[in-house]
Chains A and B, each alone.
Chain A
Amino acid sequence: MLQPEIIEFLASTTPQILAKNIPVTENRESKRHDIQQKAEAGEEKAVSPFEFRPQRLRFAVEDEYFEDGDINRHMYLQNIVTSFVDDKQPPTISEFRCHIAGCKQLFDTLEGYEHHYNALHRNVCSNCKRSFPSNRLLEIHILEWHDSLFQIMAEKQCMYECLVEGCGLKFKTSKERKDHLIRTHSYPADFRFDKSKKIGRTTEKKTQQKKDAHMEVSATVLQQESSESMDFSLTPEPVETEPMQAANLKPRYSYKVPSSICFGQGSVRGFRGRRKK
């Protein structure tokens, strides 16, 4: 792990490189500022949440930070062997955590994380945060759950498309499709990505504002039906609780958002007051 140049460098007695003689570039804070302002041009100024400043940290003598070293010192004073060659106390490798709200699964390895994430979170409905194992199921979900036009059309024609790719059949209700799935494709009766919407449209809009952070996470978590709500108390600005108008909202990146739907994630500080109402 050690680089030979470093060993050589340490061993060199002359000439020393003094820190003040190293060429440095001036900190052009202003330049970064410019870029930032360009990005913000035309918008009301957003407050940057970033606050990193180089800091010299001081630890007091009794600080917990010093515990291990103090113990090592006192083991020496009391003549206790502190280490055996075969008895290392290896540093702990960082764990990984799925950062999707309501999931929070822990992983020992990056591979474990990647597998979980790709399997469960790559297709997330921005509106209700439900995740789907495939893009196709996500699209069907958005259409059926969140597209107001779909509801109107479904009253006139068969709109519920079979979930099986390549089948192509359409049905008048989700119930009919379910029967089809069970009969023709031997799907289980409780196939979890075919939940039908139970609430009416008017109540839905209200509850969505409040519950939009609920999400169905993974097959295992979902079985317990324990979707967790996001803690909005972290950003409790009252101003932001007023619903944002759909047309004003920027679409969310690579997640699919139906155009007619209000995106409820309005509580992010960076967004505050940026759009004119």
Chain B
Amino acid sequence: MWRLKTIHHKASASASDLEEFKRKRREFEKALRQARKDRQLVSKRLLQNDVEEEEKEEEESMETCFTFLSSEQVKEMIRGVQMGGEEKAARLASLRKALRNPENQLAFIKSENSMHMLIGQLSAHNAQCQLEATRCLHQLSHSSHPSVSQACVPAGPYLLTYLSSQSTQLTEVCLYTLGNLCPDNAAVREKLLAQGIVSALANCIHNQRYNLAVVEAFGFTLSQLLQAKDATEKIIPAVMASGIVPHLISALTPDPEFGFGPAIECSWCLHYLVSSSLDNSMLIAHGALSHCSAVLIALGGAVAKGNPQDGLELLIWPLLRCLGNLLASGGDVIPEDTRLLAALCVFAQIYLHLHPALSRESLWTLNNLTAGSSGFCSGLLLLNMVPILIQFLSFSGGINSMALRVLGNIAHHGPEYCVGLTQAGLLSALCATLKMADPEVVTLSLEVLYMLVSSNPQGVEEFTRLNGIPLLEAIQYNNEGEQRVRAAYILDHHFPSFSEVESL
């Protein structure tokens, strides 16, 4: 099982090993961030065989995996397969193990006829040899060395053909292999697109939609295609026209037995589709909005019950983005179930310390849900969630500014809503945010403050009592014109009595 699997760090590992491990992970993370900035964030997946074999191989791996073979030995292995006879499949299996070593991979592709031999086995009639040869290709496709995965490209038409194979095992390996090949370069993608990868994928998901291992592999491969730099022009329109969308949407609901893998892959695909397009009415018509909402509510319930399963954020994250951007680009269609409010608040709270960015994105989605919806704004007041929102005001990094937007959405609905916010203690929280360093937070605080004091006298009284006026006076001497003007305006228009103090 590699679904939601994390790297094995043995429980017996000493503290210093763990430190070393963490340090490496941080370096790795840094490299990934840089790759994303360069728009070259690419990941490949290596499909392991079933658990037992994996464990057995792990023991062996000490010997096999790191064994370096001379090019002569590699050629010997290739000849061995060609002459193979009865043992052909077994010889292909040991070739695959040898190919775990990057040096051996290079030696393999440099050997004459090596790829020709593999493709020959791929199209042979022996099913076991077919599978083993595909696994060899899969191992090669996982290489980060461009020339190695490039060498696999001639196998493309076969891999695409086997997407409609009756053997789901073979289909799965083919999908992951194609998924690994896609992101390498534009030329490879061009070729695969010309060879019909989109319709092959559409066929595959249609036929295999009940086989969740295949659905997961399909989701991975499609997500690799959709992440391409040039996806918007060609790939996305082709995918939208292919009939894939309904399958993608129904795969969003995780299967309790199988695990979250397929749902995770398919929700990322949906995120890439939704967030690349300005008009998502077609996706909404297929039920994307209601499905995302329903799954998020279910996940909110699971997370709220405590002890959230590790890795659940991998599914919550893309679904939140789908919902957030669907709300921003789907016209006036909004979900109805107010339990969404609770789910979004729960995510924002639970992940605040483990994944602050996820917390921030939950508040973003909440903003999109409440912007212009009096029903959802009333819901936040009615369900007593304003105190929760106020708690987010002390956290920076986009968290407090987004929480202020949500509070502003509520206040914007008029005096009754402002009274509710005042009663929930918002004014004293604003007294703190007005002192913050982030100019966006100060400006938003002034905006919300203005709504509270301009629409209800109780707000004026309360703010005076909280000694808020000197704060506004201080902001009047601020360098930020935006803030200065707002502070002066509130003082002039809503605290006129103070202008009389000490006059003359």
Contacts and interface: CB of A to CB of B under 8 A. Distances in A.
Contact of A66 (B33, B301, B321): B321
A127 B480 CA distance: 20
A197 interface: no
A93 B395 contact: yes
Given A6-B383, A71-B33, A99-B435, A20 B473 contact: no
A220 interface: no
A25 B444 contact: no
B348 to A, nearest CB: 10
Contacts of B488: 268, 270-271
B328 A24 contact: no
Contacts of A254: 469-470, 473, 498, 501-502
A231 B483 CA distance: 13
B342 A19 contact: no
A73 interface: yes
A19 B373 contact: yes
Contact of A25 (B36, B300, B357, B413): B413
Contacts of B375: 18-22, 24
Interface string A226-256: 0000110011000000000000001111111
B368 A79 contact: no
A55 B477 CA distance: 30
B145 interface: no
A151 B203 CA distance: 94
A67 B391 CA distance: 24
A277 interface: no
B175 interface: no
B413 A9 contact: no
A259 B504 CA distance: 5
Interface in B430-469: 432-433, 435-438, 441-442, 444, 446-448, 450-451, 454-455, 469
Nearest to B441: A94
B435 A81 contact: no
A269 B485 contact: yes
Contacts of A80: 6-7, 25, 28-29
Given A2-B346, A46-B489, A97 B356 contact: no
Contacts of A12: 339
B431 to A, nearest CB: 9
Interface in A16-60: 16-29, 31-32, 35-36, 39-40, 46, 48-60
B354 A99 contact: no
A5 B385 CA distance: 10
A154 interface: no
A11 interface: yes
Nearest to B43: A77
Interface of B is mostly: helix
B364 interface: yes
Given A23-B378, A69-B357, A99 B478 contact: yes
A25 B417 contact: yes
Interface centre among A3, A254, A257 (most CB of B within 10 A): A3
A207 to B, nearest CB: 19
Contact of A2 (B304, B415, B477): B304
Contacts of B436: 94-97
Contacts of A271: 488, 492
B378 to A, nearest CB: 5
A42 to B, nearest CB: 12
A1 interface: yes
B271 A61 contact: yes
A219 interface: no
B177 interface: no
A109 B411 CA distance: 28
Interface stretch (B106-114, B115-123, B249-257, B311-319): B311-319
A215 B65 CA distance: 71
Interface stretch (B76-84, B88-96, B163-171, B396-404): B396-404
Interface in A70-119: 70-84, 87-101, 104, 106, 110, 113, 117
Interface of A: 1-3, 5-7, 9-12, 16-29, 31-32, 35-36, 39-40, 46, 48-62, 65-84, 87-101, 104, 106, 110, 113, 117, 121-122, 124, 129, 213, 215, 230-231, 234-235, 250-257, 259, 265, 268-271
25 contacts: A1-B349, A6-B383, A7-B304, A10-B297, A10-B300, A11-B305, A55-B405, A58-B328, A69-B318, A76-B4, A77-B45, A81-B7, A83-B310, A87-B22, A91-B396, A92-B395, A94-B441, A95-B437, A100-B478, A235-B485, A251-B499, A251-B502, A253-B499, A254-B473, A270-B485
Interface of B: 2, 4-7, 9, 22, 25, 28-29, 32-33, 36, 39, 41, 43-45, 220, 264, 268, 271-272, 275-276, 278, 297, 300-301, 304-305, 310-311, 313-314, 317-318, 321, 324-325, 327-329, 334-339, 342-343, 345-346, 349-350, 352-359, 361, 364, 367-368, 370-379, 382-385, 388, 391, 393-400, 405, 408-409, 412-417, 432-433, 435-438, 441-442, 444, 446-448, 450-451, 454-455, 469-470, 473-486, 488-489, 491-496, 498-504
